[in-house]
Chain A
Amino acid sequence: MSDMTTGAETRIIPDRLQSRFQRALGSWEVLLIAVAVAVFTFNALASPFFLNAWNLSDATFNFTEKAMIAFAMALLIIAGEIDLSVASIIALASTAMGAAVQMGFDTPALVFIGLATGLLCGAFNGLLVTGLGLPSIVVTIGTLSLFRGIAFMVLGDEAYGGYPSSFFWFGQGYVWWVITVEMVIFAICGVAFWILLHFTGFGRAVFAIGNNPTAALFSGIRVARVKFTLFLLTGLMSGLAAVCLTSRLASTRPSIAVGWELEIVTMVVLGGVSILGGSGSIPGVALAAIIMGMVTFGLGLLNVPGIVMSIFVGLLLIAVIAIPRLITMTKAKLS
């Protein structure tokens, strides 16, 4: 069963471990694949415009930028922290890039400024959380207002434009046929975070901290440093998402990406990451991102307004956690 169902109840340890195949069959990722196939099939049957390579290619923009941040956020949530300021970091990074354009900087400098702003914001969050030992949820609610607030201070009701044409490659470019640059960035980030979380000592440390920070500390893991690094990574990925989004929209407004933090957290939780920390996987998050993108795109083709789609997303978020718990509860009652 998934790790999320382990609660305070007594657990019976079986005589024999399940086979690899059995475990894989019951895993969260397999369930997500089934959901993804179902969504894909439903969409294909419901709208004749769904199965079109170019439409599908356009649909990926629904999730690629958010997923870049979701990968880093997954690690942060597994380690028992959260960053609600990510969408505001996008706004601030985008504003910084817009200001740099007005000063005549070219694409490489713009990308550097976007990423550096993200890193700085992440460092600020990380410093407050790890340096001063403050709860990340309130710190990042504060910086959520602060970072976007600075963007509003700079821009007011204006907008920055006039980006150099070479800058549009990130959000509007194609690598080959229908494969967008953003898809490639999404894939590279996914693989990088997959390796980082599941195949390195750093990844093991992230899980250890999420399961028991005190035990992790006593086993020699530099808890504060790992957490700080995770905030840096989340900031950096927000900066990267800002580069892609700004490039795609070709302009900067202070209200850019407003509300994304909730969608990104939903993506991470839907991907099977426990909001209490300690468990989760990157393939799960990637699948959840694709599912959310497909649901949004499919409902869009059926002329369902965006806000109604958000009802589905909200229900999905609660259902994916409630259903496994309901199953365990009924099982416990029956036995």
Chain B
Amino acid sequence: MSFLRSRETQLILAIGALIAVVAWRFPAFVAPGNLVNVLNDTSPLILLAIGQTVVILTRCIDLSVAANLALTGMTAAIINVAMPDLPVPLIVAGSVVMGAALGAINGILVWKLTIPPIVVTLGTLTIFRGLVFVISDGQWINAHEMTDAFSALPRAQVLGLPLLSWFAIAGVVVFAAIVRYTPLGRAFYAVGGNPSAAVYAGINPGRTQFLAFVLSGAAAGLTGYLWVARYQVAYVDIARGFELDVVAACVIGGISIAGGAGTILGALLGALFLGIVKNALPVVGISPFWQLAISGAAIVIAVIANGRAQRRAGRQILKREAPQGGSLRPEPAT
């Protein structure tokens, strides 16, 4: 019965129970059409959560993802308005590159200057958000200013699912493959599990963390375009505070904030859990104002559960060394 102890199984059961409870009173919630909507609605969160996962695996944290999303999304919208003839796939590719570049700024500061990731990304969070205002002059870009091709892409239906959902699914597959089957993916776990041992194994922890930030930035950049195109509006405050939802999805998904433990599947399930809660609240007649408290409670419960799971795994004989440039400190044996 050891599979019952894995966070992924627990989450699948929790999600199943959640859906069952809602469906018991409101069968319409589990209609395929509605479930597709829920998945589509959660897609931006999924994309950001898988990006955040690789960063957290390396003992870092990226609080700038939502600001990166806003800056890249606004840039994409401005480019679309300025050059309506530019093909949309080029804008999508440009968004990924721009997001990756913004992530690389975080990565360089963490790698070359060994500034703690939480400080770096707190700083770039405010800088990116401020730059959105600067490049847009505080103006909104509305649906009628965008070209049809620009805003149609995330909604295009392929095999019954909108492309936005397909992007999230593709993201999950790509990130899971990177994390599971590439040397880089193993390096993420090695650096997060024990940076000193990783160095002796020939891994450069700083470079690995840099690449994690680039991946997270690329996911945020892609989501930036998708977000703006889907809602057909770009303004300074889009996705403000979304970084906390992203970290919450990861924590609920069992990604250890101390690094080195967690899976892409976990992040996906954590994001889906939050997405289902968010979509179920109005259905069961609970005010959407309760959502923040519920996700807060979910995070606290998940953190407690993570802590218990880690303690059960056994006592460490050798103490972990202080993380290099990490934001977390080892707990004393209390």
Q: Which residues of A contact B (CB under 8 A)?
A: 7-8, 80, 82, 128, 130, 132-135, 137-139, 141-150, 152-153, 155-157, 213-214, 216-217, 223-224, 254, 258, 262, 265-266, 269, 275-277, 305, 307-311, 313-315, 317-318, 321-322, 325-326, 329
Contacts and interface: CB of A to CB of B under 8 A. Distances in A.
Contacts of B236: 307
A214 to B, nearest CB: 5
What secondary structure prevails in chain A residues at the interface with B? helix
Residue of B115, B236, B289, B330 most packed against chain A (CB within 10 A): B289
Interface stretch (B146-154, B168-176, B293-301): B293-301
Chain B binding surface, main DSSP class: helix
A128 B300 contact: yes
A274 to B, nearest CB: 9
Interface in B66-124: 109, 113-116, 118-120, 122-124
Contact of B332 (A214, A269, A329): A214
A319 B333 CA distance: 35
Nearest to B329: A80
A221 B114 CA distance: 30
A149 B307 contact: no
A313 B122 CA distance: 10
Contacts of A309: 130
A157 B241 CA distance: 18
A326 B287 CA distance: 51
Contacts of B300: 128, 139, 142-143, 146
Contacts of A133: 307, 311, 331, 334
Given A135-B303, A141-B251, A142-B251, 20 more contacts: A128-B300, A128-B303, A130-B334, A132-B304, A135-B328, A138-B247, A142-B300, A142-B302, A143-B300, A145-B295, A149-B290, A149-B297, A258-B241, A269-B119, A308-B130, A309-B130, A314-B127, A317-B119, A317-B122, A318-B127
B140 interface: no
B28 interface: no
Given A143-B296, A305-B138, A137 B257 contact: yes
B113 A311 contact: no
A311 B328 contact: no
B139 to A, nearest CB: 13
Contacts of B331: 133, 135, 213
Contacts of A254: 289
Given A138-B247, A275-B327, A325 B114 contact: yes
23 contacts: A7-B114, A138-B251, A138-B299, A141-B247, A142-B297, A143-B296, A143-B300, A144-B244, A144-B296, A149-B292, A152-B290, A153-B293, A214-B332, A217-B333, A265-B122, A275-B118, A276-B322, A276-B329, A308-B134, A310-B126, A310-B129, A321-B119, A329-B113
Contacts of A137: 61, 118, 257, 327-328
A96 to B, nearest CB: 15
Contacts of A277: 329
B248 interface: yes
Given A134-B307, A318-B115, A305 B133 contact: yes
A210 to B, nearest CB: 8
Contacts of B248: 141-142, 145
Contacts of B289: 152-153, 155-157, 254
A214 B295 contact: no
B304 A138 contact: no
Contact of B125 (A138, A262, A275): A262
A217 B334 contact: yes
Central interface residue in B109, B122, B126, B296, by most chain A CB within 10 Å? B126
Nearest to A209: B332
A149 B293 contact: yes
Which of A143, A145, A275 counts the most B-chain CB atoms under 10 A from its CB?
A: A145
A277 B131 CA distance: 31
A79 to B, nearest CB: 10
Given A143-B296, A145-B296, A149-B293, A317 B333 contact: no
A198 to B, nearest CB: 22
Contacts of B204: none
Contacts of B247: 138, 141
A309 B129 CA distance: 11
Contacts of B133: 305, 307-308
Contacts of B324: 8
B161 interface: no
A314 B328 contact: no
Given A275-B118, A307-B236, A322-B109, A128 B127 contact: no
> What 4 A-B pairs are tightest by C-beta distance, nearest first?
A149-B293, A146-B296, A145-B296, A142-B299
B134 A311 contact: yes
A254 B289 CA distance: 10
A153 B290 contact: yes
Nearest to B292: A149
Interface string B241-276: 100100110010000011000000000000000000
A224 B334 CA distance: 7
A325 B325 CA distance: 13
A142 to B, nearest CB: 3
A108 to B, nearest CB: 29
Contacts of B125: 262, 314
A311 B127 contact: yes
A275 B322 CA distance: 13
A254 B257 CA distance: 29
B74 to A, nearest CB: 13
Given A142-B248, A142-B303, A314-B123, A223 B115 contact: no
Nearest to B63: A262
A143 B290 CA distance: 14
A42 B304 CA distance: 50
Contacts of B294: 149
Contacts of A8: 324
Contacts of B109: 318, 322
B144 interface: no
B334 A275 contact: no
